Amino acid sequence: MDRVLVVVFDNETKAYEGKKALLQLDGEGSITVYDSAVLAKNADGSASVKQGHHPGPVGTLFGTFLGSVIGLLGGPVGMGIGAAAGLAAGGTVDLHHMRVGNDFIDDVNKALLPNKVAVVADIDEQWTTPVDTRMEPLGGIVFRRSLSEVKHTIHEENIAAMKADLAQMKAEHAKVQADRKAKLQEKINQLDSKIQAQLQKAKDRREESGRQAKEKVKALEAKAAAAKAKVS
């Protein structure tokens, strides 16, 4: 089951040990780690990524839903993120990539206080015991949430609303006096451009979601092949 995992620790040392434990579980076949990072909450409430993504077969998930999760955990002050993370500042993340509820982010933020450090990861996990038993001795507070499918409902409703406005403007354009036509046409052109841009973003998002799904399948297939080779 695909999940986002956040484990909050008291300090960086424990967090790095926690990330190492995750990768060990991955190597043992207990879980699959697609991508991960160590995120530190600074004293002023901002956040910074202390360690980049997992160097596995899926190394491009930052900037998508996992990057959005990390950005939201950066809090209102914003984030100081290294170039390796490739993420926008907190508050400017693309909310359309979110695949977990706001309640999950709120719960994590209550625990991720200033000077705390968290491991944030995108994992495939069939049962919770392996991770929990490795994190508990390190003092890690574990948060996990199954990932929903990427939803486009709100995005599609927004496009529909803009199209309705566009239709009304065009109808009005046919009736107004000549001195108003030019101004109204300018608004029509601007709104049409926005609609086209939103449609392109929707297309790009669907293609990116499909690419990520394929990469995850490849990662699981590679892991299964490796396990089979060991048995042979």
Q: Identify the pLDDT of residue 72.
A: 78
Amino acid occupying residue 187? K
CB 46 within 8 A of CB 146: no
Q: Domain-by-domain residue ranges, the chain?
A: 2-146, 153-231
CB 74 within 8 A of CB 95: no
More confident residue, 228 or 19: 19
Can you read off the two tokens belonging to residue 134?
């490795």
DSSP conformational letter for 88: P
On the CB side of 62, CA atoms within 13 Å amount to 24
Q: Rounded mean pLDDT of the chain?
A: 77
CB 25 within 8 A of CB 31: yes
pTM summary value = 0.66
Instruction: Give Dmax over CA atoms of the chain in angstroms.
Output: 82
Q: Tens digit of pLDDT for each residue in 194-218?
A: 888 878 877 877 777 777 778 878 8
Q: Tens digit of pLDDT for each residue in 9-55?
A: 999 999 999 999 999 999 888 999 988 889 999 888 788 887 655 44
Q: Tens digit of pLDDT for each residue in 68-93?
A: 777 778 754 333 333 333 333 333 44
